[in-house]
Amino acid sequence: MASSLQCIDCAQQYPIQRVIYTCDACGGLLDVRHDFGDSSSEISPALFDGRLGAFIAPYSSGVWRFKELVYPGVDDSDIVSRMEGNTNLYELPRVASYAGMDTLFLKHEGENPTGSFKDRGMTTGVTQARILGMERVACASTGNTSASMASYAARAGMQGIIFLQNQQIALGKLAQGIAFGATCLQINADFDRNMELVRLVSEKLGIYLLNSINPFRLEGQKSIMFEALQQLRWSVPDWIVVPGGNLGNSSAFGKGLLEMLQVGLIDRLPRLAIIQAEGANPLYRHFRDGFRQFEAVNAETIATAIKIGNPVNLQKAIRALEWTSGVVEQVSDQQIMDAKAIIDGVGIGCEPASACSVAGAKRLVERGIIKRGDTVLGVLTGHVLKDPEATIGYHADQLPGLSPKHRNAMLQVEDDLDAIVRVLGDRAP
Ligand code: F0G
């Protein structure tokens, strides 16, 4: 089945064998376009349901289960997979009531092999790198992309090269990149500058770029929507709420949702709500200004995963917002960390950036944009263990400028039986 690359601005097409990330003719972003023509009759809930619980690759993966929509022409022997996806969809009434709504589902992408949604894009990105015969792959990262790329590159026997901002990466993520054997460059530059640098270096040295500007990444990430809808038995929620940083996920969601509509898996589109941190809110500002003049920002937020001021997928995210009558909201670091404490406190947990989904949904309910009775699906993008410093800092009340509303303070107790019994007595449920 034919797939090609196509510019989202001028529609120029390129063969998928080309190592190219933006349009030669106009500089626009590229989509991977699949011709579903031949197989659209076989694409059905029954096809994908029939693969649930598969033990054998590639259909044991929650990405490759949807192969016909992700990369139809791929040879199974080229696929580099860690059985990513297959993440849980939780219905969480306590979190819903915190956010002021009746029905909230949270899809936990932190349950992927390296602890974030990036694995879904990395299986397709590294598979494409293998098809192209690449030996080296690179990315700039706030942490999760690098952890994921390092893992998949190691599985594929490739050298992974990661560009990181000095001191600004959560410990869990840094540890993964090092452990998986990637070449880690700590550079005194923020994510946005590192993104420019990795593009230049990759071009100069013929290294395959695996940031989400690479359209094959987004093909894998679309499967978050496929799997979520499958879990909801193809019943479309009113809202999908997702954090926005480099805007790869929101872009992928827009494309995946539209494709599901095109092949008849769903009968309408949900509305997309993209949530940014107040200190890293270039899309929010642009949205508020009616998309007139885009301005990058100098990003600062405790949610280091989304500390991004100049997102590379901007145009695709705007397109996704247009397709889905979407909205953009912003939330403060205080709101992010309080929402995180609520998600953590019900025993599910997530990293700070992920909590934007709940904090943002809450704001949108308060502003009357999401209605209490709407069905809302939020995406938790990363695992609670990714950023232990932020979690402990919150509960120890040691985060500058923040005061924890949902604190679980650690208790210092003497080595003394009576003292311990007294403390627990004071805290009996
Ligand atoms: N949540 C988490 C946990 C992330 O790691 C990221 C992005 C996002 C949300 C935002 O997703 O970029 O698709 O809008 N992390 C990238 C990284 C930038 O390098 O790990 P996005």
Is the minimum distance from the CB of 381 to ligand 1 under 6 angstroms?
A: yes
- Give the up-direction half-sphere exposure of residue 282: CA atoms within 13 A in the CB hemisphere: 24
- Among all chains, which residue has been given the structure tokens 């093909």? 219
Task: Identify the domain boundary among 162, 177, 212.
Answer: 212
Q: Do residues 166 and 284 share a domain?
A: no
Q: Do residues 353 and 329 share a domain?
A: yes
- Domain assignment present for 268: yes
73, 113, 130, 235, 291 from 82: Cα distances, Å: 20, 7, 15, 28, 39
Listed residue (340, 347, 353, 354) closest to 395, CA to CA: 340
| 3-class state of residue 178 by DSSP | helix
Q: Do residues 264 and 324 share a domain?
A: yes
Label residue 131 by pLDDT band (50, 70, 90). Answer: very high
Considering only residues 41 and 14, tell me which one the structure prediction assigns the higher pLDDT: 14
Is the minimum distance from the CB of 142 to ligand 1 under 6 angstroms?
A: yes
Q: Do residues 101 and 239 share a domain?
A: yes
C-alpha to C-alpha distance for 163 and 142, rounded to whole angstroms: 9
Task: Identify the domain boundary among 212, 233, 267.
Answer: 212
pLDDT digits (tens, 9 = 90+) for 16-30: 999 999 999 999 999
| 3-class state of residue 9 by DSSP | coil
- Domain assignment present for 127: yes
pLDDT digits (tens, 9 = 90+) for 92-105: 999 999 999 999 99
Per-residue model confidence (pLDDT) at position 366:
98
Q: 79: which residues sit within 8 A by CB, 6+ positions away?
A: 57, 58, 64, 123, 127
Number of domains in the chain: 2
Q: From 145, 223, 251, give the residue whose CB has the most ligand 1 atoms within 8 Å, as the site to mutate.
A: 145
Is the minimum distance from the CB of 382 to ligand 1 under 6 angstroms?
A: yes
104, 208, 361, 412 from 239: Cα distances, Å: 10, 35, 9, 44
Q: Kindly report the protein residue whose alpha carbon is nearest to atom 12 of ligand 1.
A: 246
Q: Do residues 122 and 256 share a domain?
A: no
Is the minimum distance from the CB of 353 to ligand 1 under 6 angstroms?
A: yes
Is the minimum distance from the CB of 112 to ligand 1 under 6 angstroms?
A: no
pLDDT digits (tens, 9 = 90+) for 219-232: 999 999 999 999 99
For residue 305, the CA-to-ligand 1 centroid distance in Å is 5
Question: Is 216's pLDDT higher than 90?
Answer: yes
Q: Do residues 121 and 111 share a domain?
A: no
pLDDT digits (tens, 9 = 90+) for 38-95: 666 789 999 999 999 999 999 999 999 999 999 999 999 999 999 999 999 999 999 9
Q: Do residues 177 and 231 share a domain?
A: no
Q: 295: which residues sit within 8 A by CB, 6+ positions away?
A: 282, 285, 286
Q: Do residues 187 and 325 share a domain?
A: no
Q: Do residues 271 and 359 share a domain?
A: yes
- Domain assignment present for 420: no
Mean pLDDT rounded to a whole number for the chain: 97
- Domain assignment present for 199: yes
Per-residue model confidence (pLDDT) at position 166:
86
- Domain assignment present for 402: no
- Domain assignment present for 51: no
Query: Residue 283 belongs to what H/E stretch?
Result: helix 282-288
Question: Is 209's pLDDT higher than 60?
Answer: yes
**What type of residue sits at position 403?**
S
Per-residue model confidence (pLDDT) at position 39:
63
C-alpha to C-alpha distance for 107 and 88, rounded to whole angstroms: 6
| Owning domain of residue 140 | 3-43+117-212
- Domain assignment present for 313: yes
User: For 396-417, what is the mean pLDDT?
Assistant: 97
For residue 45, the CA-to-ligand 1 centroid distance in Å is 29
Per-residue model confidence (pLDDT) at position 187:
96
Q: Enter the tokens of residue 174.
A: 């840094």
Share of residues in the chain with pLDDT > 90 (%)? 96
Per-residue model confidence (pLDDT) at position 167:
81
- Domain assignment present for 130: yes
Task: Identify the domain boundary among 184, 212, 240.
Answer: 212
Q: Do residues 233 and 138 share a domain?
A: no
Per-residue model confidence (pLDDT) at position 1:
54
Q: Do residues 297 and 310 share a domain?
A: yes
Residues 284-287: contacts with CB under 8 Å, at least 24 apart: 284/328, 284/329, 284/330, 286/314, 286/318, 286/328, 287/321, 287/327, 287/328
Is the minimum distance from the CB of 148 to ligand 1 under 6 angstroms?
A: no
Q: Do residues 208 and 324 share a domain?
A: no
For residue 245, the CA-to-ligand 1 centroid distance in Å is 6
Share of residues in the chain with pLDDT > 70 (%)? 99
Q: Render 378-404 in DSSP notation, one character per residue.
A: EEE-B-GGG-HHHHHHHHTT-STT---
Q: Which is the closest atom of ligand 1 to the Cα of 308?
A: 18
CATH code of residue 8: 3.40.50.1100
Per-residue model confidence (pLDDT) at position 38:
61
Q: Enter the tokens of residue 163.
A: 């560009």
